[in-house]
């Protein structure tokens, strides 16, 4: 006798899904990062190439190790750890000692991702966790900058790159003076503006003709990567837009009040790591809010805090800490901005 009972399968939302996997999304993010990486190597030479290779390979190896130790299947093939390695390398100075970069990568995957349970459970952006660790552990090396486009950048390493583990990196100031074709102050555009009120031209900021972290110098290439991801609907375009809008609106009153002391909003948007952080880090799908209102609050907060740290903090840059703090309060933002359930009454005294 056959069973003719109707079987109904109940599932939670979302019921309509895009036919796209995590691997496809992560792989496209890597594609968007490749031009940024290529320009970093073009601008800073083999030191930047070695830096990106070390951070990426160490992140991949660390991911495989932690998966094995926890008894979980390897998640290396989902490409997320490759993104962590590339982003970490792009946020470091091009002459950063390679052994320190390996430490940063190990911390990024271990403390920033594996400790919370892996992909989908990390509270903060793993690459920024690793970067924050070496910011505190190696403050001198992480604030030592080299000029881009040196003639021999493809034939020799920046001296500090190959520093032996636990040894003090050499002073590269004399090497920079000999290698640079023109006077180089050893300062980034943010430092020049903050301490000397010297503003770098917009053209140099767009094209990457400045000193800085390996992947933060060319705002135009970073923006192109963001447009690619947004066009393919693999990134919430509201997050980078909100970060940039928050930074511009926060900096504008200060610039109108004192245009000599405070930078104009366009300089704020194009300088430092704001563009890289807004496009590729603040938009982390796991560490950002999921509600429409929460996305705007989160992104505007990051832009606002970045400018406040830059203008009134002891550091020249504030993107990293702004994003990490934004990640920390992201669950709270999502909680308080939950939309009303259809058919449910709004909070308040009973009628």
Q: Which two tokens stand for residue 279?
A: 């496009």
pLDDT value of position 2: 56
Alpha-carbon distance of 312 to 63, in angstroms, equals 38
Domain boundaries of the chain, sorted by first residue: 21-144+146-183, 187-335
Cα 116 → chain centroid: 19
Contacts of 119-122 with CB under 8 Å at 24 or more apart are 119/22, 119/75, 119/78, 119/80, 119/286, 120/286, 121/286, 122/286, 122/287
pLDDT value of position 182: 55
Closest C-alpha among 37, 127, 138 to residue 97: 138
Tokens 């990051």 sit on residue: 302
In order of 63, 146, 247, the CA distances from 175 in angstroms are 37, 10, 36
Alpha-carbon distance of 132 to 136, in angstroms, equals 7
Cα 218 → chain centroid: 14
pLDDT value of position 185: 56
pLDDT tens digits in sequence order for the chain, 351 residues long? 555 666 676 666 665 566 778 889 999 999 999 999 999 999 999 999 999 999 999 999 999 999 999 888 888 888 999 999 999 999 999 999 999 999 999 999 999 998 888 878 888 999 999 999 999 999 999 998 888 998 889 999 999 999 999 888 887 777 777 766 555 556 789 988 888 888 889 998 998 888 889 998 899 999 999 999 999 999 999 999 999 999 999 999 999 999 999 999 999 999 999 999 999 999 998 889 989 999 999 999 999 999 999 999 988 999 999 999 999 999 999 999 988 776 666 665 555
DSSP assignment letter at 121: T
Q: What b-and-e string marks burial along 161-185, b requiring 16 or more CB atoms within 10 Å of the CB?
A: bebeeeeebeebeebbeebbeeebe
DSSP assignment letter at 281: I
pLDDT value of position 337: 92
pLDDT value of position 181: 55
pLDDT value of position 13: 60
């Amino acid at each position: 006798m056959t069973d003719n009972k109707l079987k109904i399968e109940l599932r939670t939302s979302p019921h309509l899904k895009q036919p796209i996997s995590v691997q496809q999304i992560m792989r496209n993010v890597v594609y968007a990062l490749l031009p940024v990486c290529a320009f970093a190597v073009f601008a800073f030479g083999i030191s930047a190439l070695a830096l990106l290779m070390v951070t990426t390979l160490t992140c991949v190896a660390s991911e495989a190790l932690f998966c094995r130790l926890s008894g979980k299947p390897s998640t290396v093939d989902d490409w997320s750890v490759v993104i962590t390695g590339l982003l970490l390398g792009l946020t470091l100075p091009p002459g950063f000692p390679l052994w320190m970069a390996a430490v940063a990568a190990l911390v990024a995957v271990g403390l920033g991702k594996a400790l919370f349970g892996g992909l989908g459970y990390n509270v903060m952006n793993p690459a920024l966790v690793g970067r924050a660790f070496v910011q505190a552990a190696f403050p001198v090396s992480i604030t030592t900058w080299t000029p881009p486009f040196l003639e021999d950048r493809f034939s020799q390493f920046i001296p500090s790159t190959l520093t032996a583990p636990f040894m003090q990196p050499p002073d590269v100031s004399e090497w920079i003076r000999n290698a640079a074709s023109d006077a180089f102050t050893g300062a980034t555009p943010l430092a020049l503006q903050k301490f000397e009120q010297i503003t770098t031209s917009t053209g140099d900021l767009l094209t990457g003709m400045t000193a800085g972290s390996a992947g933060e110098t060319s705002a135009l290439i970073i923006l192109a990567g963001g447009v690619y991801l947004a066009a393919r609907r693999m990134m919430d375009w509201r997050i980078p837009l909100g970060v940039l809008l928050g930074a511009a609106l926060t900096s504008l009153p200060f610039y109108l009040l004192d245009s000599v002391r405070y930078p104009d909003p366009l300089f704020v948007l194009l300088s430092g790591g704001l563009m890289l952080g807004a496009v590729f880090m603040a938009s982390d799908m796991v560490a950002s809010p999921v509600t429409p209102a929460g996305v705007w609050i989160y992104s505007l907060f990051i832009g606002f805090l970045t400018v406040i740290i830059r203008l009134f903090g002891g550091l020249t840059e504030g993107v990293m800490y702004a994003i990490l703090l934004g990640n920390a309060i992201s669950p709270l933002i999502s909680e308080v901005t939950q939309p009303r359930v259809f058919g449910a009454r709004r909070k308040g005294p009973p009628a």
